Amino acid sequence: MTPDDTPTRYRITVVCLGNICRSPIGEAVLRTRIEAAGLTASVCVDSAGTGDWHLGHGADPRALSTLDAAGYDHDHVARQISASWLDDIDLLLAMDEANYRDLQRMLARSGASPALRMMRSFDPALSDLPEPHPDLAVPDPYYGGPEGFAEVLQMIEKAADGIVDDLLGGRLGA
């Protein structure tokens, strides 16, 4: 409990490169799955990028179209993760190996200790792969067409289901 007697929520931050494609999709899907599981009071989800190219911008229109077509709510403004956030995060979800390594370096410099995982490591079909295995990467769809965004959504949905299962099963700290 916090000093004001309100429970502390388990905080998950989904991280990609620019915070306009993969991580906003991850945030929207995971937030929806957490809400459906009745975990909103104990778990919160946000997202950020490791780079600053798109700060203050909305998500890529193709990401938004993909989320809309699948029925996900979204409200997003791109942000860049910084070391000052890390003490307040419980779980960092990296989208690819580069994001994972960037976050590892940030964690080493900060001394903070949130768990760092590849998002797809929660996909039951991939859970036996060591992190950060290349097969755990969610590919960046930015330079492709809408089919890349649909593929990213499918990958993230499988991983999000695994995360919620772990939250409900007590394997994550919510």
Check if 16 is active-site. yes
Q: What is the CA radius of gyration of the chain?
A: 15
Residue in 21, 22, 117, 120 annotated catalytic:
22
Contacts of 14 (CB under 8 A, 6+ apart): 22, 23, 26, 27, 30, 45, 46, 47, 48, 93, 95, 119
List Cα–Cα distances, 112 to 104, 106, 121, 145, 159, in angstroms: 10, 9, 22, 38, 25
Q: In the block, which residue shows the tokens 């099963």?
A: 169
Active-site residue, from 46, 60, 96, 140: 140
How far is 60 from 67, CA to CA, in rounded Å?
11
The neighbour count for residue 38, using CB atoms within 10 Å, is 9
Please tell me whether residue 27 adopts helix, strand or coil conformation: helix
Q: Say which of 4, 5, 16, 31 is annotated catalytic.
A: 16
The answer to whether residue 22 is catalytic is: yes
Instruction: Look up 44 and say whether it is catalytic.
Output: no
In contact, 126 and 151? CB cutoff 8 Å: no
Active-site annotation, residues: 16, 22, 140
